[in-house]
Amino acid sequence: MPTTVSLATGRPAAAGAINLNHPDHYFHWGFVIISLANLVVIVVLIALFIAALLVPFMKPRPVPAPEVDETEPAVRAQAAATGEPTWTGAVRRLGLRFLPPAKLLPDYQPAYVASWAYVFGVATLTALMVVIFSGLALAFEGPAWWHISSAGHFVNSIHLWAVELFMGFMTVHLWFKFWMASWRGHRQATWMTGVLCFLVAIFEAFTGYISQTNFDSQWIAFEAKDAFASSGIGALINPLNFGQAVMLHISLIPAAVLVLVAVHVLLVRVHGVAPPIEARAEHLSTPAPDSAEVAR
Amino acid sequence: MSAPEAQVPAHVDRRTEARRRAAAEGQPWRGPLRHYDIIKEATIAFVVVAVLAVALAALFSSPDQPPVTLRQWANAQPAGFTQVALSELQGTSTSATYGPPFNGQSGSVQSLGPVSIQKLLGVAWPLHPDLAFVIDPLSTLPTDPALGSAIRTWESAGAAQQKSWTAAYAKEVGKLGLGASIPSRVSGAGPVPQLLSSLLAMARTGALDAALVSHGTFYSSDYTNAIMFLGDSATSQDHSYWNEIVTAEHLQGSQWGVMNETGSWPGQPWLWLYSMWYQVPPMNSSHNADILVVAIVTILSLALLFLPFIPGLRSIPKWVPLHRVIWREYYRQAPR
Ligand code: HEM
């Protein structure tokens, strides 16, 4: 016999200017079921992609090619050393060879870097910073805070929306890097660290959901345990164990995201931005015999 | 390049050309440059994104529906609760028969062809629901002589005796509607009516919620027992208290639930490709659905990871000329 269960479960949710605390509208198309809210997110991302594709970028200001040779600092570093071979000197030379300061913090770019397509990497990075700052504030006050204080609830809202922005910008970033085939020119590792960022971020979001200590976390943990168990991960991670979930969410996994993002962004700087598909031959320098190995 | 082109087969030539191109595309750019200020760009981006996040938070807030408790469940559906509790005592519930990582049974063991990683890795978080969900919590209650002797009777009885008691009880209680109240006397059921009516009373006060997470220690952060007990109602009773809420919120697996969120907030739309496989055959009716979906998604993730090395796939962006739009300025100024 069906029993009616009231959805009004007591606690008043701290409302935003627009109240979303009511049942969503769901679309059913064949086997597809999607909520209006998720559909809006997906439509917004596609619209962002199209807008970034079509809207003209700010007019580039041309600069002459810099006089300095990028290999020069490496040579200088070598010359400045005492002459005694040291590990420290070797590491310094390596750093300067792959990432001379002008490459790490550039004040010029190839002229073709003139499209909104390029801003989604930085947007992802800055959204991640907002996620981390708001997450640190939540961690500082402990897991009960955001349920019982409206300040806590607001910080939680910032955390949630920063995550939506982070995942959204990353998705559009991924789409663009695919259509630009940005792995060309020995940039495969950049693409691959990007994909790892994406996968680890999904896992990070998951542990966040099950660390909420609310209705969502109960149900998501209960549902997820079967996929975990069946794949063997369940022998290491028990999603029903709140303590384990929250520890993973605030230590190991964010550390992994940060390391991956750092490697990813440094790789972009090491290789420089990928040239356009079918760039003119005279714009691409032919590799010197020894540097072809380095680029590989 | 002044290679003697005539002697080289076409495909070797193409491969050399591709390699030469990749090497050239990996070299520093020798074309026109533009002014750029990486720190300024990053600062502006941070301010814009931070303002956007705060604005979205102020506009839309965030969901925080309180957890479901065994107390609410036991009050709303006394018979439903007791039927699940009985199955824990009988060892027939989903948790009791689960298998690794919770116990040595095999009810929820999945395998991919002949291989079951789940079984291979064994029990990591031992769970015995007859004790953990029923007897142990009851033993924490203040000494009530009738309950105390019921527990002792149950514990000292042989398996066959226990089975006949629970069978007699099931005959009476199994046919009740979820919201019905339970009988206090059932003939032939031994100590079972006493045990389960005490457990129901305990659950209705909220004491069971606390007992299930305490694990006999002061501090606790593990909710496995409480959620698994609640979950046994979700797997065995379509209209259980928890299922009703979950279904109304479109959170069931069969409703693409992993993507969804309570209320009208967006959930995890990035899980669409994971969620989708559960909706199509054979996964939508397979006992091995989870491991099948995990396998498919692992393969797809590896394909995405190694995309730059997969012939065909990696050439799609060259065939579909979206790049002509992205770099239209460059192509205009430097035509092929
Ligand atoms: C945590 C997530 C990520 C962050 C913070 C991030 C950040 C960045 C940044 C700042 C850039 C340079 C600016 C730009 O070209 O947009 C970049 C470039 C790049 N990203 Fe990501 N990214 C992330 C995830 C991804 C993902 C998921 C992919 C693809 C699967 C990806 C692939 C690439 C590639 C191939 C480049 C090189 C672009 C080029 O040389 O033109 N990234 N990323």
Q: What are the DSSP calls for B137-192, one per residue?
A: HHHTS---HHHHHHHHHHHHS-HHHHHHHHHHHHHHHTTS-TTSPPPS--TT-TTH
What is the structure's pLDDT at A77? Answer: 57
What value of ipTM does the predicted structure carry? Answer: 0.92
DSSP 8-class letter at A213: -
Residues of A in contact with B63 (CB under 8 A): 13, 20-21, 214, 216
What is the structure's pLDDT at B201? Answer: 96
Compute CA distances A269 → A68, A105, A139, B284, whole Å: 17, 8, 32, 46
| Angle (CA) A156 B262 A16, round 5° | 45
pLDDT tens digit sequence for A106-139: 888 999 999 999 999 999 999 999 999 999 999 9
Backbone dihedral angles phi then psi of residue A29, each to the nearest 5 degrees: -125, 105
pLDDT band at A17 (very low <50, low <70, confident <90, very high): confident
- Tell me how far the alpha carbon of residue B28 lies from the centroid of ligand 1, in angstroms: 19
B145, burial (CB in 10 Å: exposed 0-12, middle 13-18, buried 19+): exposed
Q: Given a cut of 90, is residue A11 above it in pLDDT?
A: no
What is the structure's pLDDT at A19? Answer: 87
Report CB contact under 8 Å: A238, B124: yes
Strands ordered across the beta sheet of B33-35: A62-63, B33-35, A108-110
pLDDT tens digit sequence for B60-96: 999 999 999 999 999 999 999 999 999 999 999 999 9
Number of helices (H), then strands (E), belonging to chain B: the values are 18, 1
- Tell me how far the alpha carbon of residue B303 lies from the centroid of ligand 1, in angstroms: 18
Q: For residue B153, give how far its alpha carbon lies from the nearest alpha carbon of chain A (Å).
A: 33
Report CB contact under 8 Å: A1, B239: yes
> How far is the C-alpha of A264 from the C-alpha of A194, rounded, in Å?
6
Residue in the structure block whose two tokens are 């992994």? A256
Residue pLDDT tens, chain B, 336 long = 444 444 556 677 788 888 888 889 988 899 999 999 999 999 999 999 999 999 999 999 999 999 999 999 999 999 999 999 999 999 999 999 999 999 999 999 999 989 999 999 999 999 999 999 999 999 998 878 999 999 999 999 999 999 999 999 999 999 999 999 999 889 999 999 999 999 999 999 999 999 999 877 888 899 999 999 999 999 999 999 999 999 999 999 999 998 999 999 999 999 999 999 999 999 999 999 999 999 999 999 999 999 999 999 999 999 999 999 999 999 998 766
- Tell me how far the alpha carbon of residue A293 lies from the centroid of ligand 1, in angstroms: 24
Q: Given a cut of 80, is residue A286 above it in pLDDT?
A: no
What is the structure's pLDDT at A292? Answer: 40
Closest CA to B242 of B64, B74, B63: B74
> How far is the C-alpha of B80 from the C-alpha of B64, rounded, in Å?
27
Please name the residue whose Cα sits nearest to atom 15 of ligand 1: A118
